[in-house]
Amino acid sequence: MGMAYRILVITYSQTGQTNAIAEALLKGFGNDCEFTYVQLEPEKAYPFPWNGRAFFDAMPETVLEIPLALKPVNLDPEQKFDLVLLGWQPWFLSVNRPILSFMRSETGRRILHNTPVLSFLGCRNMWVSANEKMKRYLAEAGAQHIGQIAMVNHSPNLVSLITILAWMLKGIKKNFMGIFPSGGIDENYYHKSPAMGSAVYRALKQGCWDGLQEELLSLGAMHIKPKLILMEKTGSQRFIFFAKWIAAKGAEGAQSRVPRVVFFSWFLPFMIVLLTPLITIARPLQILFKRRQLQREAAYLVRLPYERGRFHPKDKEL
């Protein structure tokens, strides 16, 4: 038997969902692979279930892309891998802080530089903005981004909002109030994942990543709803405003910013509940008038490589 393929699996997973996705993907790999697993942990762990204030207090630094301190990882920065599988979740239309912090660290940059990376996420339904940021971070690290997968919850927007809050704040994933569907990604993704993993494994053995993303898309790796593109662009602008407004009163956990955090914690769900019916009525007209633009954006968003400023215009300034 020849040399084993060296594969690094990096995840941050409060609920265990991201780790479960990784396990399902790895079922498609062969026995000639040697896996190294790294589960990131902040020095000051985030709670799970969250309490409401801590959950919303995590927003500003996440949106403003401010790294945090991580517990040391058992990785040699000089070690090279044949492939990195990077599992993550969006927070507030951005990449979660533990994953961001690893990617911005010296160890993370050296590990990812010139290395093929497959990114995969599991989330509610709003992931496009965060995924573009992930693509940017990988580009900044000099990684070879060979594929991306987004596994989501396909419930209606308000329903998925309720189920994710029940899971994050109450720890209740299934049968919330006896009437709501399960939170988390749709279960059929776990059945699709081994086939996606097999596609990545074949490309690894062939030493050629060309066409991998197209094959993953044919297996259901990503699906974009045009109305969510419009919602996320609006939401991203609002989050940046509130992030700066709250952060102006102090760092995460500071008592001085608690009143603003509490205001945001009430304002955000209220606006989602209030605006969703209006958006449902108005969005079809917007989509109709912007159909070609949205089709072009959707076609770009599910593919690689990353183009600076294509989706987030301000990225051009970074």
* pLDDT one-digit tens code per residue, 21-62: 999 999 999 999 999 999 999 999 999 999 889 999 999 999
What lies within 8 Å, CB to CB, of 311 at 6+ separation is 128, 129, 132, 297, 300, 301
Return the SS3 of 232: helix
Identify the CA nearest to 49 among candidates 89, 87, 16, 96. 16
CA 263 to chain CA mean position, Å = 26
Q: What is the mean pLDDT of residues 194-204?
A: 98
Reported as a single tens digit per residue, the pLDDT across 209-222 is: 999 999 999 999 99
Domains in the chain, number: 1
Ranges of beta strands (E only) in the chain are 5-11, 33-39, 83-88, 90-91, 94-95, 116-123, 144-152
Q: How confident is the model at residue 275 (pLDDT cuts 50, 70, 90)?
A: low
Q: What is the secondary structure of 93-118 as a DSSP string?
A: TEE-HHHHHHHHSHHHHHHHTT-EEE
**Which CATH number fits the domain that encloses residue 20?**
3.40.50.360
Residue 1 has pLDDT above 70, yes or no: no
CA distance 128 to 126: 6
What is the per-residue pLDDT for 282?
Answer: 56
Whole-angstrom distance, CA of residue 204 vs CA of residue 171: 38
* SS percent in the chain: helix, strand, coil, step 5: 50, 15, 35
* 111-152 per-position pLDDT tens digit: 999 999 999 999 988 899 999 999 999 999 999 999 999 999
Q: What is the pLDDT of residues 220-232, one digit of tens each?
A: 999 998 778 888 8
Domain containing residue 169: 5-317
Q: What global pTM score does this model have?
A: 0.92
pLDDT higher than 70, residue 161? yes
Confidence category of residue 318, pLDDT binned at 50, 70, 90: very low
